[in-house]
């Protein structure tokens, strides 16, 4: 008989950390308890908090009781002691845990295996409470540092690559080659979210965001391979050329493709590029289209740099608001 086990994970920070939903966790020490395999160990967020543990020492031998110290971990910052989330009889002490703790946390990176578990703490994080708890813990770990994947879409030659390069490298080259397939760039920015909510100090919150910009080729013959680059995107930059009415008329094609691959609408910024040239798409018409579709709207010139950083910061704030479920 073939048995298939499906594990549900909570993925955080764009997949950098994952927390299995079938396990239980101690709130403060990030010790996980696997009741099926009878294992305890340090979860991925806890490992990251400790910043590369160097030595692990197991403090128990045969049995352990709830809240009893069972392991000490030496890091560059000092020594951390882990308390047990359960009581039970120990079967195996994993002397090679440190070798696997980062890459195979929940299988080979365990600390103790039990012969039997007789009692567990009542305040462990489990079930539906895992996701919200893990999300807050990662935010604390990253100190309000977020990472967002953004897809940049629109007709060929509207200046998508030039916008990306101006943003990531503050550079403009007139004869940039047309993107073949996909291009990629990344930059960390500091943003400020202004709010009327009294919870925020002085009505604002500052955060850092790493924007990973995927510039998809606009030519029709790349349509079949573009789909894979939408995967896991958190937002979109929808581009047209203010000097090219055809690129504006084709926006709906790109909106339809965006919804086809990402399902529910993601935060999207409509950006009109090449404002250093003669305008042929009326500003009010572009603003009206953005409003009708619930998009942000900014105009820019990749050549001069005007409006480019503003565009990405506006989109980052919307992504932050969605991530934090603010004003939704």
Instruction: Give me the CATH number covering residue 98.
Output: 2.40.50.100
Identify the domain boundary among 139, 164, 189: 139
Question: Mapping DSSP to helix (H, G, I), strand (E, B) and coil, where does residue 1 land?
Answer: coil
Asked which of 89, 119, 139 is the last residue of a domain, the reply is: 139
Judgement on whether residues 147 and 135 belong to the same structural domain of the protein: no
Count structural domains, the chain: 2
- Express as a percent the part of the chain with pLDDT over 70: 84
Burial class (CB in 10 A: 0-12, 13-18, 19+), 313: middle
Global pTM value? 0.59
* Domain shared by 201 and 95, yes or no: no
Q: Is residue 21 part of a domain?
A: yes
The reported pLDDT for the residue numbered 181 is 42
The pLDDT of residue 71: 92
pLDDT at 183 over 70: no
How far is C-alpha 287 from the geometric centre of its chain's CA atoms? 30
The pLDDT tens digits for 247-304 are 999 999 999 999 988 876 799 999 999 999 999 999 999 999 999 999 999 999 999 9
What does the pLDDT read at residue 6? 37
pLDDT in tens, 62-83: 999 999 999 989 887 678 889 9
Question: CA geometry: angle at 154 spanning 151 and 158, to 5°?
Answer: 120
Together in a domain, 118 and 31:
yes
Give dist(CA 31, CA 81) in Å, integer.
Answer: 11
Return phi, psi of residue 105, to 5°. Answer: -50, -45
Q: What is the pLDDT of residue 198?
A: 41
At 147 the pLDDT is 84
Residue closest to 316 by CA, chosen among 237, 203, 209: 209
Tell me what pLDDT residue 229 has. 78
């Amino acid at each position: 008989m073939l048995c298939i086990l499906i594990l549900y994970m909570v993925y955080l920070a764009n997949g950098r950390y994952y927390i299995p939903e079938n396990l239980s966790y101690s709130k403060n020490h990030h010790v996980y308890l696997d009741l099926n395999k009878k294992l305890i160990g340090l979860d991925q967020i806890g490992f990251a908090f400790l910043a590369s543990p160097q030595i692990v020492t197991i403090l128990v031998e045969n049995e352990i009781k709830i809240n009893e110290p069972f392991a000490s971990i030496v890091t560059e910052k000092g020594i951390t002691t882990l308390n047990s989330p359960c009581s039970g009889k120990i079967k195996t002490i994993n002397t090679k845990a440190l070798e696997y703790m980062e890459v195979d946390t929940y299988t080979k990176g365990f600390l103790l295996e039990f012969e039997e578990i007789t009692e567990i703490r009542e305040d462990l994080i489990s079930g539906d409470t895992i996701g919200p708890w893990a999300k807050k813990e990662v935010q604390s770990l990253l100190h309000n540092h977020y990472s967002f994947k953004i897809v940049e879409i629109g007709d060929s030659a509207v200046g998508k690559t030039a916008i990306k390069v101006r943003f990531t490298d503050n550079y403009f080259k007139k004869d940039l080659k047309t993107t073949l397939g996909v291009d990629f760039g990344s930059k960390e920015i500091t943003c400020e979210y202004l709010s009327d909510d009294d919870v925020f100090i002085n009505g604002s919150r500052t955060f850092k965001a790493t924007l990973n910009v995927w510039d998809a080729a606009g030519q029709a013959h790349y349509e079949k391979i573009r789909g894979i680059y939408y995967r896991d995107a958190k937002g979109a930059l929808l581009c047209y050329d203010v000097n090219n009415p055809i690129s504006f008329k084709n926006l709906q094609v790109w909106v339809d493709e965006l919804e086809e691959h990402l399902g529910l609408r993601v935060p999207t910024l409509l950006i009109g590029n090449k404002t250093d040239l003669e305008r042929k798409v009326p500003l009010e018409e572009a603003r009206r289209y953005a409003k009708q579709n619930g998009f942000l709207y900014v105009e820019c010139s990749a050549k001069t740099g005007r409006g480019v950083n503003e565009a990405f910061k506006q989109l980052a704030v919307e992504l932050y608001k969605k991530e934090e479920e603010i004003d939704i």
